[in-house]
Amino acid sequence: MKAKLLAQRTVSSRVKRVASAASVGTKFLVISLLCCGLRTFAESALITVDAARRIGPISPLVYGQFIEHLGHCVNGGVFEPGSSLSDTNGFRRDVLEKARELSPPLLRWPGGTFSKIYHWQDGIGPKNERRRRPNLIWGGEEDNQFGTDEFIQYCRRLGAEPYITVNMATGSAEEAANWVEYCNGTGNTYYAALRCKNGFAEPHRVKFWGLGNEEDAEPDCGRLQDPTHYAAEAWQFAKLMKLQDPGIKLIIAGCGNGTWNRTVLKSLHPVADFFSLHWYCRSKDPETLFGGVAGFDRRLEEMGKLLAEFPVRVTEFPQWYRFPPRDGPVKLAVDEWGIWNGGQSGKEEMWGLDMTYSWQDALGVASWLNALQRNADITGMATWAQLVNIIAPILSDAKASIRQVVFYPLELYRRHSGNWAVSAQCQGPALPGGSKLPALDVSASLDERTHTLTLAVVNRHPTEPIAARIQFQGTAYRRLQAGYELTAPALDAHNSLASPTSECVCRRRFAGQSDFEAYSFPPCSISLLLLQ
């Protein structure tokens, strides 16, 4: 089984390597530019799609979001009781409406680092009896008015599966298991009954549970920096939590350190449905941002090789555990990803987390989504950090809320990508400046139900349109059913709460066409071409 998986990885790794390669400076003769919307151009490229070379199914869970009790993400972001903009639950209606446009299938909570000081029982029951605590991690005070039941209600309103991270730093395995009982218990037991008493007779059915967060990070109240220590503790958490509900799926804390990852996986892989990876990029300039995303792509490749060392199925698992092991390969959970210039905004109190995103960042996000598709075979879930106000696609203040420019690629890819990632290779020019990073970043996906192939292309060149010929190996998809194109007037274009009704992103949809062979991608653009 292991050998078979390794062989599969070798094939898909090869597909991915070719897919991300660009032969720098390649120029093709001007091709027959048959399609509408072609512009004059200085550069050209060749995109080759092979729909029969399948990388893997794209998990719907890769389009998730994350909320944390940090700044105005939860309090004053998704939740603002007393505001005229909020509903009777205290949920900001305008924010929820925008979040629904993003349609995240998964929502992670309560942290992040905050989970290391969070005690879930502070946030249940009558609101006026809830304990107010200092937010020791991020500063300020936590009034615990938005707790487990509010989180679940928010998920239901959003149409997202809840994903809860448990406290392994200042909490215990028993506390975490009691949380599972509170959420999922159906028996005549204390915590299940407490949920009923609090008004929720039906179980919350929380399937995804994270065992800690960045547990190697010593400055963050972390106490489990030694991987063998983490592994031993996490086993205890896993056992007690799975005994409460054998159907839950666990996310094990990984990190950037290879020794940690291998050690932890060796011990915990029988119960590791997912293995967590966090990746933030800086966006000082295009090279830093797009280079960071390329680094993410390489890290996924490395992680894929590591995960392939573990069997697809666990065959020997003592029955005395009284719960089953994982029932498929260990998948990656990229449960924090995004763009964070960490402390460079000059606002130290928020550690630079109150990011205003520019159009350059949106190009980075689209490239990132391409990287997730190119690594669909190993990625089981991903949650963008975060949803509102904190490194977020949505900003709000007391009066209004806006979509940041990064909102649009997130929305577009979620709406129009297929459910299988397939091979797409691109040969074309590099970005100016000697970085050798390709100007075009490409991925392709196939929707098996509608036989639609979505070709996603980001032209990151700051000034040049790039005309690409689109060639198919095997089945050709030549009927352009629809095209979606995002552009903005400049790389530093952004939306702002100061003028909440102005919008800098130009969104273009163009209609169908047969014999589609080529397209000229405008500079600094994101295009999704739906082909049949």
- Residue 111 binding ligand AHR, by CB under 6 A: yes
In this structure, are residues 357 and 284 in contact, taking their beta carbons and an 8 Å threshold? no
- Closest distance between ligand AHR and the C-beta of residue 254, in Å? 12
Residue nearest to ligand AHR as judged by C-beta position = 112
Task: Kindly identify the residues of this chain, within the stretch 54-73, that bind ligand AHR according to CB under 6 A.
Answer: 68
Number of neighbours of residue 345 by Cβ within 10 angstroms: 15
Q: DSSP alpha helices (H): ranges in 308-389?
A: 359-374
- Closest distance between ligand AHR and the C-beta of residue 137, in Å? 7
Rg (CA), the chain: 23
Cβ proximity to ligand AHR: between 385 and 467 the closer is: 385
Cβ proximity to ligand AHR: between 68 and 142 the closer is: 68
- Residue 335 binding ligand AHR, by CB under 6 A: no
- Residues 43, 80, 161, 214: which binds ligand AHR (CB under 6 A)? 214
- Residue 161 binding ligand AHR, by CB under 6 A: no
- Residues 71, 90, 105, 112: which binds ligand AHR (CB under 6 A)? 112
Number of neighbours of residue 393 by Cβ within 10 angstroms: 27
Cβ proximity to ligand AHR: between 223 and 479 the closer is: 223
Q: Per the structure block, which two tokens stand in for 488?
A: 């903005």
Total of chain residues touching ligand AHR, rule CB under 6 A: 9
CA angle 194–196–200, rounded 5-degree value: 125
- Closest distance between ligand AHR and the C-beta of residue 351, in Å? 8
- Closest distance between ligand AHR and the C-beta of residue 68, in Å? 5
DSSP state of 378: T
- Closest distance between ligand AHR and the C-beta of residue 341, in Å? 12
- Closest distance between ligand AHR and the C-beta of residue 392, in Å? 10
In 3-state terms, what secondary structure has residue 34? Answer: coil
- Residue 336 binding ligand AHR, by CB under 6 A: yes
- Closest distance between ligand AHR and the C-beta of residue 191, in Å? 27
DSSP assignment of 285-306 equals: SHHHHHHHHHHHHHHHHHHHHH
Cβ proximity to ligand AHR: between 367 and 386 the closer is: 386
First and final C-alpha spacing in the chain: 36
Strands 466-473 and 43-57, sheet pairing: parallel
Strands 401-403 and 394-396, sheet pairing: antiparallel
In 3-state terms, what secondary structure has residue 217? Answer: coil
Task: Kindly identify the residues of this chain, within the stretch 352-371, that bind ligand AHR according to CB under 6 A.
Answer: none
Helices 227-244, 173-184: axis angle to 10 degrees equals 30
Helices 227-244, 258-268: axis angle to 10 degrees equals 40
Cβ proximity to ligand AHR: between 254 and 438 the closer is: 254
Q: Per the structure block, which two tokens stand in for 483?
A: 């095209």
- Closest distance between ligand AHR and the C-beta of residue 353, in Å? 6
- Residue 385 binding ligand AHR, by CB under 6 A: yes
- Residues 12, 44, 144, 213: which binds ligand AHR (CB under 6 A)? 213
Cα–Cα distance for residue pair 62/295, rounded to 1 Å: 19
Cβ proximity to ligand AHR: between 112 and 329 the closer is: 112
Summarize as ranges the residues that interact with ligand AHR (CB under 6 A): 68, 111-113, 213-214, 336, 385-386
